[in-house]
Chains A and B, each alone.
Chain A
Amino acid sequence: MEARGAKWRWGLLDVVVVVFALVPVLWIMSLSFKTTATLTDGHFIPREWTLENYKTIFQTDQFVRALVNSIGIALISTLIAVVLGTMAAYAIARLDFPGKGALVGVSLLIAMFPQVSLVSPLFDIERRLGLFDTWPGLILPYITFALPLTIYTLSAFFKQIPWDLEKAAKMDGATQGEAFRKVIAPLAAPGVFTTAILAFIFCWNDFLFAISLTSTERSRTVPVALSFFTGDSQFEDPTGSISAAAVVITIPIILFVLFFQRRIVSGLTSGAVKG
Chain B
Amino acid sequence: MSAPTTAAAKHRAEEKPLSKAEKARLSEGKRAERRLGWLLCAPAAIVMLGVAGYPILYSVWLSLQRYDLKFPDDREFVGLSNYVTVLSNQYWWTAFGVTMLITVVTVVVELVLGMALAVIMHRTLVGRGIVRTAALIPYGIVTVVAAFSWRYAWTPGTGYLANLFSDSAPLTERASSLAIIMLAEIWKTTPFMALLLMAGLALVPEDLLKAAAMDGATAWQRFTKVMLPVMKPAILVALLFRTLDAFRVFDNIYVLTAGANETSSVSMLAYNNLIKGLNLGIGSTMSVLIFLTVAIIAFVFVKLFGTAAPGSSDEGRR
Chain A residues with a Cβ under 8 A of chain B? 6-7, 10-11, 13-14, 17-18, 20-22, 24-25, 27-28, 31, 39-44, 84-85, 87-101, 103-118, 120-122, 125, 140-141, 143-145, 147-149, 151-153, 155-157, 159-164, 187, 190-191, 194, 197-198, 201, 204-205, 207, 222-223, 226-227, 239, 242-243, 246, 249-250, 253-254, 257-258, 261-262, 264-270, 272-274
Contact = CB atoms under 8 A, between A and B. Distances in A.
B54 interface: yes
26 contacts: A11-B125, A17-B117, A17-B135, A18-B130, A18-B131, A21-B138, A40-B158, A42-B159, A88-B44, A92-B41, A93-B310, A96-B37, A104-B311, A106-B49, A110-B52, A113-B59, A117-B284, A145-B52, A149-B241, A157-B200, A223-B142, A264-B195, A266-B203, A266-B205, A267-B202, A274-B207
A147 B50 CA distance: 13
A139 B191 CA distance: 25
B199 A157 contact: yes
A92 to B, nearest CB: 6
A201 B241 CA distance: 15
Interface string B231-272: 001101100110010001011000000000000000100110
Contact of A122 (B33, B55, B133): B55
B interface, over-half SS: helix
Contact of A106 (B7, B48, B138, B236): B48
Contact of A10 (B120, B150, B271, B283): B120
Given A156-B236, A239-B148, A42 B162 contact: yes
Given A95-B36, A159-B233, A266 B125 contact: no
A141 B51 contact: yes
Contact of B207 (A141, A227, A273): A273
Contact of B195 (A160, A162, A187, A198): A198
B270 A116 contact: yes
B37 A111 contact: no
Given A153-B237, A264-B199, A40 B157 contact: yes
B173 to A, nearest CB: 20
Interface residues of B, number: 110
A269 B142 CA distance: 36
Contact of A87 (B41, B127, B146, B248): B41
Contacts of B145: 28, 226, 242-243, 246
Interface string B279-294: 0100110010011001
A24 B33 contact: no
B40 A268 contact: no
Contacts of B163: 42
A272 B51 contact: no
A261 B118 CA distance: 13
A156 B309 CA distance: 7
A273 B163 CA distance: 57
B311 A205 contact: no
B143 A14 contact: no
A253 B271 CA distance: 29
A17 B143 CA distance: 20
Nearest to A212: B275
B101 interface: no
Interface string B202-244: 1111111000000000000000000000100110110011001
Contacts of A106: 45, 48-49
B134 interface: yes
Contact of B136 (A109, A191, A257): A257
Contacts of B291: 112-114
Contact of B133 (A92, A113, A149, A254): A254
A151 B143 contact: no
Contact of B290 (A6, A114, A144, A258): A114
B133 to A, nearest CB: 5
Contact of B311 (A25, A85, A100, A265): A100
Contacts of A39: 158
A135 to B, nearest CB: 15
B47 A116 contact: no
Contact of A242 (B121, B141, B148, B240): B148
B229 to A, nearest CB: 10
A111 B206 contact: no
